[in-house]
């Protein structure tokens, strides 16, 4: 009897492993290989249209796709200037617990874009009772059945075994890819000039979607760093929790943002907060530096903040799209930065060389340094900056050579044009770009003879 039980156990384990492995994508490329975002008709419904201030705003709904026989749909706001033709397009992806907002698409429409905001989270965005996002009982969004993070099979998931398409993340990214298709089919939009932005969960979805070659510029914010299930250097057990096993391995290979960054082929403007909980600074830069377009991409970090940023950082996003989709703005290059540990007095010095070319006037350079291993809790000290010709430098004294040292600079430019900003931000003419990031670990500090002060 015991032998029979043992044999049955082995049989079921082998059967499970075979079932798990069979026909399941194992990479990001394989996950999306059979998905064509143009194949299924969109079946666009116009629920409502309003006209005001020279802007046409539509409440629309379109088909995301038919999965396991269930036709899923997503609601969205779409706005564009009256009498518009062949404008660049912008796709906006909201964050966790949030919803699409008409003011956001109207902002971009007023700036000469055709813009769509995808309501993947299902919440009411206009009038109660309106046709809205419908995931057809597949776990997704914020109404029951809610967001399903993992790849494991559950009630209502598309597959009955572990599969990347069981995760809600893939469905949201599919809805965003379908928004690209939507814009391609609109007379108001030039389908060869489409940009993508998203905040928080939407930031991650921006990275998951930016591998679509139809996206020509992207701007994720405080989301999409990747490496969240990895310990922060020097802090054991700081990684997000997920039970070990084949499902975790599959999730990381097919859904973790770090495996999407190397596949992004468009220039990226990442908006960050130095103390963000959702996209720790070191993880952002690790992912960011793996994109093939890193030399054409930029970051803009707000110091001291968590999950939000200021108007001068937001300006970087707005002008990023103006640069790459409208060719109406010249974007400054990333400032070069060095961290010199071998100094006469043993105090490290950060030196920054910003882009001083025309047409933008340099307003100021701010240098920050900090020590805490955890970027979410790191206090960034403002250094005393001195200018010498085209370089800016500042001492970065350390208190303990047994802890690491981190440094970066924010380069603030006066664009000469004060523009109306989106809701929540004051009108602004300043633009902030973050320099190259520098760090030194304890063994490097000690080897260089750095002194604690």
**What tens digit of pLDDT does each residue of 382-423 get?**
999 999 999 999 999 999 999 999 999 999 999 999 999 999
Token digits of residue 245: 């096993």
Does domain 336-447 fall under CATH 2.60.40.10? My reply is yes
Q: What is the CATH number of domain 21-265?
A: 3.40.50.1820
Gap between the Cα atoms of 27 and 255, Å rounded? 9
Gap between the Cα atoms of 180 and 166, Å rounded? 22
pLDDT for position 21: 52
270: closest CA among 310, 294, 302, 300?
300
- Domain(s) labelled CATH 3.40.50.1820 in the chain stretch across 21-265
134: closest CA among 192, 35, 194, 62?
62
Give the H/E segment covering residue 288: helix 281-288
Gap between the Cα atoms of 300 and 294, Å rounded? 14
pTM for the whole thing? 0.94
Pairing of strands 298-302, 336-340: unpaired
Cβ–Cβ under 8 Å, residues 396 and 369: yes
- Domain(s) labelled CATH 2.60.40.10 in the chain stretch across 336-447
Gap between the Cα atoms of 93 and 150, Å rounded? 20
List, for the chain, all residue ranges whose pLDDT scores fall below the cut of 50.
Answer: 1-2, 4-20
CB atoms within 10 A of CB 53: 10
Q: For the CA atoms of 396, 402, 404, 405, what is the dihedral angle to 10 degrees?
A: 0
pLDDT for position 10: 41
pLDDT for position 22: 67
């Amino acid at each position: 009897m015991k032998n029979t039980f043992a044999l049955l156990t082995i049989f079921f384990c082998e059967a499970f492993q075979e079932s798990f492995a069979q026909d399941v994508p194992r990479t990001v490329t394989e996950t999306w290989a059979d998905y064509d975002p143009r194949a299924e008709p969109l079946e666009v419904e116009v629920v409502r249209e309003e006209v005001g201030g020279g802007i046409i705003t539509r409440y629309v709904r379109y088909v995301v796709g038919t999965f396991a026989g269930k036709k899923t749909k997503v609601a969205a706001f779409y706005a564009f200037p009256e009498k518009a033709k062949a404008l660049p397009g912008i796709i906006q992806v909201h964050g966790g617990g949030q919803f699409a907002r008409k003011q956001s698409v109207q902002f971009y429409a007023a700036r000469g874009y055709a813009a769509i905001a995808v309501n993947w989270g299902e919440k009411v965005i206009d009038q109660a009772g309106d046709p809205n996002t419908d995931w057809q009982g597949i776990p997704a969004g914020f109404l029951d059945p809610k967001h399903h993070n993992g790849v494991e099979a559950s009630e209502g998931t598309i597959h009955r075994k572990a599969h990347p398409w069981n995760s809600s993340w893939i469905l949201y990214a599919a809805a965003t890819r379908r928004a690209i298709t939507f814009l391609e089919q609109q007379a108001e939009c030039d389908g060869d000039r489409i940009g993508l932005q998203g905040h928080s969960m939407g930031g991650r979805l921006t990275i998951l979607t930016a591998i679509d070659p139809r996206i020509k510029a992207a701007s994720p914010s405080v989301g999409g760093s990747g490496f969240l299930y990895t310990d922060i250097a020097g802090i054991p057990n700081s990684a997000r929790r997920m039970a070990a096993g084949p499902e975790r391995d599959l999730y990381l290979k097919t859904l973790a943002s770090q495996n999407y960054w190397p596949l992004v082929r468009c220039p990226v403007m990442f908006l960050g907060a130095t103390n963000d909980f959702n996209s720790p600074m070191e993880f952002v830069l690790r992912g960011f530096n793996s994109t093939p377009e890193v030399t054409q991409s930029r970051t803009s970090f707000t110091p001291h903040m968590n999950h939000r940023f200021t108007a001068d950082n937001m300006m970087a996003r707005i002008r990023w799209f103006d640069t790459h989709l409208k060719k109406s703005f010249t974007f400054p290059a990333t400032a070069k930065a060095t961290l010199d540990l071998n100094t006469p007095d043993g105090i490290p010095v950060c030196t920054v060389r910003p882009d001083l070319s025309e047409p933008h006037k340099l307003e100021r350079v701010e240098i920050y340094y900090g020590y805490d291993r955890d970027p979410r809790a790191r206090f960034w000290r403002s250094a005393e900056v001195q200018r010498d010709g085209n370089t800016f430098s500042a001492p970065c004294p350390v208190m303990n050579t047994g802890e690491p040292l981190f440094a970066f600079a924010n380069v603030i430019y006066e664009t000469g044009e004060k523009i109306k900003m989106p809701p929540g931000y004051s009108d602004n003419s300043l633009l902030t770009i973050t320099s190259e990031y520098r760090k030194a670990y304890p063994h490097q500090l000690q080897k260089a003879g750095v002194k604690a002060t």
